[in-house]
Structure 1
Amino acid sequence: MPDAQHLFLFVVAGVLLNLTPGPDVLYIVGNAIRRGAKAGVVAAVGVSAGCFVHIVAAAVGVSALIAASATAFNLLKWAGAVYLLYVGARLLLAKSAAQRWESQSSPPASGDTGLWSVFRGGFLTNALNPKVAIFFLAFVPQFIPPDAGNEALAFLGLGVVFNINTVAINSGWALAAAWVARSGAVQRSLRWLDRAAGLMFMGFGLKLALAENPTR
């Protein structure tokens, strides 16, 4: 693990990165607005679970293989792009509020099954994004000291620290969105929010589909 100063810098950098909105934050905020703070926090936990996939993969070298192999990168890229486009299309084509966010979570607003679907959607939004894998390969090693005895273990440790920050900040997004959703104006605008979110998800999907392997 890095010394206290480098660990502090790592935490600060991670916080700033997690504050940047993207498909993960959009998914969390959408569920929080639609289903309340609990669903938003569950979505945040799902996103962090997907993040752990990339952390472990990078630590054991799988992400390095994805970065080096155009085929592996493209397979994961297209899987993620198709998923984001699917989510966006479902939101755009929803005919009523009853169908809202159906692509990411289950129809009931409560219950273990519904929350599991919310968790799964968050997991897939993050786990199917190869750019997250590349990010960890590029970002985390900068904070591992050259004399680290076990680089893989140091990578995992920093990954856990990053993910703890991720859960905290994304839960903050969820709680803030749920609080804002109490406004009557927001509730009356849910259908337009569906459309806007659908366009944003499709935009993220197209951006991912057009992305090139940044390491090549």
Structure 2
Amino acid sequence: MPTGELFWAFLVAITLLTITPGVDTLLVIRNTTRTDLQAGCVTSLGICSGLFLHAALSAVGISLILVQTAWAFTLLKWAGACYLIWLGLSSLRLASRRSPARPVMSDAVTQSPGRWRDFREGLLSNLFNPKAALFYMALLPQFVDPQGHVLSQSLLLAGVHFVLAMLWQCAVAAAVSRSRHWNAPPWVARMMHGITGGIFVGIGAKVAMTQA
């Protein structure tokens, strides 16, 4: 367990990071708009599940090796960039539809594949994000007591991040879902898909052009 001072410092830092808009928040908004509140929450679950892997890799030093190995970091960077661009193009395709199909909420069989898709998109978005690996490699060691068990402390801090991020992202999803009940015209949803799609493509291009 990190010392009291280390833990509270981590809590402040991770809270500020969590509420700062980024790719994770954008993906939750995108999937909530595409389907419903549950889709946004499941997407958040996928995103937050990836935090534990980043924490474990950071604890055993693999993240450091990844950052110091140019070809491995470049490979991760390009994988993340391609995935973000793919998400963006998917949103732009939804924006181009004149009448976006709405899922049948009562059909559990229809919904279950979509829930796995939402979880998978969130998880892959987090795992392919080189900034997440860099963040956990750089930040977590600052709040871990070197005299204690490093892996357990890292996973504990990732658990704190998991709870905070789930609460925040699900709150964002709830706000977006509530706005969908205001009977907005269909072009509003298409505009949202177009905006998020363009942002995803832009972020993916920026990641691809960023020097390692």
Supply the distance in 2 between the matched residues of 1:86 and 1:99 (Cα, whole angstroms): 20
- Return the offset for 1:170: 1.3
- Report the secondary structure of 1:145's partner residue: coil
In 2 relative to 1, CA 109–88 (structure 1 residues): closer, same or farther, beyond 3 Å?
farther
Q: Label 1:141 to 1:186 Cα distance change in 2 as closer, same or farther (>3 A).
A: farther
1:152 positional shift: 2.6
Q: Give the AA of the match of 1:184.
A: N
**One-letter identity of the residue aligned with 1:98:** P
- How big is each residue's C-alpha offset from its partner over 1:87-129, in whole Å with a ceiling of 9 and x where there is no partner? 11222244314379xxxxxxx9952111000110111111101
Partner residue in 1 for 2:6: 6
Percentage of matched positions with identical amino acids: 35
Residue 173 in structure 1 maps to residue 175 in structure 2: no
Matched ranges for 1:144-163 at <5 A: 144-146=144-146, 148-163=147-162
Deviation larger for 52-61 or 40-49: 52-61
**2:200 match:** 201
> Hey, what does 1:98 align to over in structure 2?
100
Instruction: Give the whole-Å Cα distance in 2 for the aligned partners of 1:132 and 1:46.
Output: 14
Output the CA distance in 1 between the equivalents of 2:87 and 2:117: 13
> In structure 2, what is the equivalent of residue 105 of structure 1?
none
Counterpart of 1:15?
A: 15
Alignment of 1:43-192 (within 5 A): 43-94=43-94, 95-96=96-97, 97-98=99-100, 111-146=111-146, 148-185=147-184, 187-192=186-191
- Alpha-carbon offset, residue 67 of structure 1: 1.0
Q: What TM-score does the superposition give when structure 1 sets the normalisation length?
A: 0.87
Instruction: Return the alpha-carbon distance in structure 2 between the equivalents of residues 27 and 8 of structure 1.
Output: 29
Query: CA RMSD of the aligned region, Å?
Result: 2.1
The 3 A distance-change label for structure 1 pair 3 and 86 is same
Kept in 1, the 8 Å contact 2:25–2:169? The answer is yes
Partners of 1:34 and 1:25 in 2: CA distance = 14
The whole-number CA distance in structure 2 between the counterparts of 1:109 and 1:166 is: 29
The 3 A distance-change label for structure 1 pair 201 and 171 is: same
Instruction: State the TM-score, normalizing by the size of structure 2.
Output: 0.88
Q: 1:12 to 1:210 in 2, by over 3 A?
A: same
In the alignment of these two chains, the number of paired residues is: 205
CA distance in 2, matches of 1:174, 1:25: 9
Which structure has more RCO (C-alpha within 8 Å, separation ≥ 6)? 2
Whether the 8 Å CA contact 1:35–1:109 is kept in 2: the answer is no
